Chains A and B, each alone.
Chain A
């Protein structure tokens, strides 16, 4: 099953980034019985005309790093267990035919939009006078002058016009052709901005009206199970240095949200509507740290990661875990009316550690994230000193040259640098997400508010040698890794971590 994720706008990219972190940690979609779903492939499609958006760039780099690491570990195999288990592919990778030219990228090509001012895009200058007058009523001057290469600056009325032509793009055609029976679609967008708020309903509309497009699988597409994460206000913006610049105003966030919710209710998610089959609402009004003002042309939208994005990243997994009968009338094949979901923390606190989440969330993220964090510490402080000893000497050997491979560099530098940046940003944001103690490289103290168990001679110790011993044991007579030292390292660590976490930490239930 493929899950096509349309990540729209800045929030889309940021939630996707959190999702990549969870996938890297080994979080996987499971069925109703908790068993990992087989043959799942996630195809993210980032839609954002603001290509210089730093959040988008960070997410794209992370996706690229994830793909590099995963391919080295598992090749093209969709089924895996452990770190980086979930297969994530670009649209180009899943399109088998080369009939449609596509960029080898996770980003939807919006060249038809992003190269224009909005005024030029709608051919304002060639309109007759009454139409110009009507357009001026609908759009403010700054909106008409907006260069769409910086996005839609919080203006869904621009987005709803500009993104309407998306169905004619090569990417959309390729997506429509490759979409197959059993595949699903998920949208990630904010509702209080411009790109996401407009893009979500427009693309849903184009999918549900797929009969009008030239695609071989349009029948499946029309009846596709569709889920969406709609993010309500969770951050605010500082005032602009330029007092005249009011293109994005905090005061509008709630009003825009109300209007958009009303529109969604009327078109997508209201009683009896089945355009979207599962909608996940998330927001955190009142606990947010104000971000620097940036409509897109000030500092390229480099916003810190936020708890909401991490929680939102679990929504696609939840959507995948829903059975077909929850989303589709199996007798007629028609999509079922919308099911709506909300989310709440177990403890409403400004300092969120693992204990602040409800048990369902903890059961999804606690062990995978702890394993990933311990792997980070192990690779930064332990592995180099172990080369030439123990498990590293078993075939396939992990040699000194291994630490110079592309895989190792991407994992330890590109990926883990992003990981630490992600944790740090969430820690210093509001709410403060303190899953791990900042800068702590002692495995005994790394997990916030989780200590090691008491043993006969005091607290049980966890250090690199604990992992080395367990990995040595697991590696002995283990012939399953062929000539793949990357898989050996990651799989041994993952399995060792499972046992060590169980045996040595006072884990949260």
Chain B
């Protein structure tokens, strides 16, 4: 039980750190003159990080505790949920960034940025999964056994 709480805390801490160091992390991954400045100035990195963390944790929670089915407990089911997360999150982020950068034409940069953001999305989903899966009755051993 203690180990599981530790995993949860580690996951939360990792997500908080991602939120705190969002600018550094995003800019380390993808920097374009003008676009990155506007992202910083409008606080769009904050909303993108929040959406990424929120959807990854949210979809993981839906998988482990709402779906939580013996018919959906194999590694490839989890992979499908990861795929769904990696599709939904960039779309929401793209819409959010477009609204934040309204009046600027950074559509190519936005698109590329969202492609890069898939990496953070996937990573956050993995972290969320390994943080919360332990209490799921049917999917706690997904994607790999404890």
Determine if A68 is an interface residue (Cβ-Cβ < 8 Å).
Answer: no
Q: Give the chain B neighbours of A468 by CB distance below 8 A.
A: 70, 138
**Which chain B residues in 38-82 approach chain A with CB under 8 Å?**
69-71, 73-74
Determine if B141 is an interface residue (Cβ-Cβ < 8 Å).
Answer: yes
Q: Give the chain B neighbours of A473 by CB distance below 8 A.
A: 137-138
Q: How far is the CB of B55 from chain A (nearest CB, A)?
A: 27
Q: Give the chain A neighbours of B69 by CB distance below 8 A.
A: 469
Q: Which of B1, B74, B137 contacts A389 (CB 8 A)?
A: B74
Chain A positions 457 through 482: 1 when the CB is less than 8 Å from some CB of chain B, otherwise 0 = 00000000100110011001100000
Q: Which of A393, A465, A469 contacts B141 (CB 8 A)?
A: A393
Q: Give the chain A neighbours of B73 by CB distance below 8 A.
A: 389-390
Docked pose: A377 CA to B69 CA in angstroms: 21
A472 touches B138 (CB 8 A): yes
**Which chain A residues in 388-432 approach chain B with CB under 8 Å?**
388-390, 393-394
A476 touches B145 (CB 8 A): no
Docked pose: A476 CA to B133 CA in angstroms: 11
Contact flag A477-B1 (CB < 8 Å), given A393-B141, A393-B145:
yes
Q: How far is the CB of A72 from chain B (nearest CB, A)?
A: 24
B146 touches A469 (CB 8 A): no
Q: Indicate the size class of the contact surface on chain B.
A: 10 to 19
Q: How far is the CB of A235 from chain B (nearest CB, A)?
A: 47
B1 touches A390 (CB 8 A): no
Q: Which residue of B lies closest to A465 (CB)?
A: B70
Docked pose: A298 CA to B16 CA in angstroms: 83
Q: Give the chain A neighbours of B71 by CB distance below 8 A.
A: 465
Q: How far is the CB of A356 from chain B (nearest CB, A)?
A: 36
Determine if B135 is an interface residue (Cβ-Cβ < 8 Å).
Answer: yes
B141 touches A389 (CB 8 A): yes
Contact flag A472-B145 (CB < 8 Å), given A390-B138, A477-B1:
no
Q: Give the chain B neighbours of A388 by CB distance below 8 A.
A: 145
Docked pose: A376 CA to B74 CA in angstroms: 25
A390 touches B135 (CB 8 A): no
**Which chain A residues in 336-373 approach chain B with CB under 8 Å?**
none
Q: Give the chain B neighbours of A389 by CB distance below 8 A.
A: 70, 73-74, 141
Q: Indicate the size class of the contact surface on chain A.
A: 10 to 19
B137 touches A476 (CB 8 A): yes
Candidate in A465, A472, A473, A476 with the most chain B CB atoms within 10 angstroms: A472
Q: How far is the CB of B131 from chain A (nearest CB, A)?
A: 17
Q: How far is the CB of A471 from chain B (nearest CB, A)?
A: 10
Determine the main DSSP class of B at the interface with A: loop
B137 touches A393 (CB 8 A): no
Chain B positions 66 through 109: 1 when the CB is less than 8 Å from some CB of chain A, otherwise 0 = 00011101100000000000000000000000000000000000
Docked pose: A477 CA to B1 CA in angstroms: 8
Docked pose: A172 CA to B41 CA in angstroms: 97
Q: Which residue of B lies closest to A476 (CB)?
A: B137
Docked pose: A477 CA to B141 CA in angstroms: 13
Docked pose: A468 CA to B70 CA in angstroms: 7
B137 touches A469 (CB 8 A): yes
Docked pose: A206 CA to B138 CA in angstroms: 60
Docked pose: A256 CA to B71 CA in angstroms: 62
Q: Give the chain B neighbours of A393 by CB distance below 8 A.
A: 141, 145-146
Docked pose: A469 CA to B72 CA in angstroms: 11
B1 touches A472 (CB 8 A): no
Q: Give the chain B neighbours of A472 by CB distance below 8 A.
A: 70, 137-138
Docked pose: A476 CA to B73 CA in angstroms: 15
Q: Which residue of A lies closest to B71 (CB)?
A: A465
A476 touches B141 (CB 8 A): no
Docked pose: A478 CA to B73 CA in angstroms: 20
Q: How far is the CB of A464 from chain B (nearest CB, A)?
A: 9
Q: How far is the CB of A160 from chain B (nearest CB, A)?
A: 62
Q: Which of A390, A394, A476, A477 contacts B70 (CB 8 A)?
A: A390
Q: Give the chain B neighbours of A465 by CB distance below 8 A.
A: 70-71
Q: How far is the CB of B134 from chain A (nearest CB, A)?
A: 9
**Which chain B residues in 119-146 approach chain A with CB under 8 Å?**
135, 137-138, 140-141, 145-146
Q: Give the chain B neighbours of A476 by CB distance below 8 A.
A: 135, 137, 140
Q: Which residue of B lies closest to A468 (CB)?
A: B70
Docked pose: A388 CA to B146 CA in angstroms: 11
Docked pose: A394 CA to B138 CA in angstroms: 11
Chain A positions 469 through 508: 1 when the CB is less than 8 Å from some CB of chain B, otherwise 0 = 1001100110000000000000000000000000000000
Q: Give the chain B neighbours of A469 by CB distance below 8 A.
A: 69-70, 137-138
Q: Give the chain A neighbours of B140 by CB distance below 8 A.
A: 476
Q: Which residue of A lies closest to B74 (CB)?
A: A389
Docked pose: A76 CA to B146 CA in angstroms: 32
Q: Which residue of A lies closest to B1 (CB)?
A: A477
Q: Which residue of A lies closest to B145 (CB)?
A: A393
> Nearest 10 CB-CB pairs, A to B?
A393-B145, A393-B141, A473-B137, A468-B70, A465-B70, A469-B70, A472-B138, A472-B137, A476-B137, A389-B73
Given contacts A389-B141, A390-B73, A393-B146, 17 further A-B contacts (CB under 8 A): A389-B74, A390-B70, A390-B141, A393-B141, A393-B145, A394-B146, A465-B70, A468-B70, A469-B69, A469-B70, A469-B138, A472-B137, A473-B137, A476-B135, A476-B137, A476-B140, A477-B1
Q: List 20 A-B contacts (CB under 8 A).
A: A388-B145, A389-B70, A389-B73, A389-B74, A389-B141, A390-B70, A390-B73, A390-B138, A393-B141, A393-B145, A393-B146, A394-B141, A394-B146, A465-B70, A468-B138, A469-B137, A469-B138, A472-B70, A473-B137, A473-B138
Residues of A within 8 A of B (CB): 388-390, 393-394, 465, 468-469, 472-473, 476-477
